[in-house]
Amino acid sequence: MQQNPTIDEQQAAGKSPTSEPSRSRRRSRRRVWARRNTRRVPTAQRVRTFFRFCRWMFRWGGWFVGLPVLFLTCRAVWHNFVHDSSFALRKVEHALEKEISTKELMLAGGFRAGDNLMLLSLTEVAERLRKHPQIKWVRLRRKMPHTLVVELKTQKPAAIVMFDRPYLMSASGIPYRVASASQQKAGLLRIHGIRKAEYRAFPKAYQTIFCHALALQTVYREHGLAKFQSLRSVHIERVGGYTLVAGRTTIELGHDRLLERLKALKKVYRVFGNQRIRNIQKIHLNLDRHLNRAVVKPYSSQPLSQVTGKLPAAGRK
């Protein structure tokens, strides 16, 4: 039986046991290196690719780095504005100090002294100010570092409501401020008969009633009744309705069909004329079924008597 040669015999024959595998490994490495050399990019092309990559990095890398830096810078600046005491509100400028005070403006606008001017929302403040019954138009702007400039237009009061004290009332029927002595002498329509506690309990309902009183004044003027006697005040009662005071005359209208009753009042004025109408103390028009009749009570030193008569047609005197 033939045996394999031993290591000593192989060495004596000049052969190594690891010579064949090492040769195969060297051959495989040469083949891989040859394949790599066949795929190598030329040097000029690699340089061009490198410079293109650098240009791309300079173009877009600035945005990637600059945007976070810009964001952090803006945040730091805003934080400085918010917490800096030099931007605290200290002054409110407006040209109508006599008509509406600065304190009333701040209360209506919902801001106060010391608020940060940068954080103050001018849109929201302007919306709140427009709800004030005296303000007709308003515009706000900041005057750095600590002043708020208010440009506004106010509307004139439409009447005076006699609560415990006389209050100015807007055209929308909202009492808003105590009337001064000069405003009480301005000849505004006065509204009586409503207590302040009642108005506070039902503000919306009484605002509608006040608007009806203003509408009576408007209709009174449009029908030409002001040329006989100017309307001075309106008394409001729950049962009796509306009572007008024109000159020295008290006119009881009631609470319904007011337009027809004012037309009947115009007939009464025409019957008595400008001279004799001043001697009338009371005109009672609150007759449920007789809108063409009126009860007239004159001023007289004699015992008072009521004169009742049918009113003439509108075209007759």
Please indicate, yes or no, if residue 243 is contained in any of the structural domains. Answer: yes
- The CATH number of whichever domain residue 248 belongs to comes to 3.40.50.11690
Packing angle between helix 122-130 and helix 102-109, nearest 10 degrees?
110
Q: Which are the contacts of 93, defined by CB distance < 8 A and separation ≥ 6?
A: 143, 147, 148, 149, 150
Last residue of a domain, one of 63, 83, 103: 83
pLDDT beyond 90 at 192? yes
What's the pLDDT at 83? 73
Q: Can you name the residues that pair with 169 across neighbouring β-strands?
A: 159, 175
Q: Is 308 helix (H, G, I), strand (E, B) or coil?
A: strand
Higher local confidence (pLDDT), 249 or 276: 249
pLDDT beyond 50 at 94? yes
Q: What is the distance between the alpha carbons of residues 226 and 193, in angstroms, rounded to a whole number?
A: 23
Q: What is the distance between the alpha carbons of residues 66 and 209, in angstroms, rounded to a whole number?
A: 65
What's the pLDDT at 59? 75
Range in 13-17, 61-65, 218-222 with the lowest mean pLDDT: 13-17
pLDDT beyond 50 at 305? no
For the chain, where are the E strands, in sequence order?
91-93, 135-143, 147-154, 159-162, 166-169, 175-178, 189-192, 231-237, 241-246, 249-254, 280-284, 293-298, 307-310
Q: Which two tokens stand for residue 176?
A: 């808003």
Q: Does residue 243 sit in the same domain as residue 282? A: yes
Question: Whole domain around residue 56: which residue ranges?
Answer: 41-83
Higher local confidence (pLDDT), 112 or 44: 112
Last residue of a domain, one of 154, 170, 193: 154
State the chain's mean pLDDT as an integer.
Answer: 81
Q: What is the mean pLDDT of residues 190-195?
A: 94
Please indicate, yes or no, if residue 66 is contained in any of the structural domains. Answer: yes
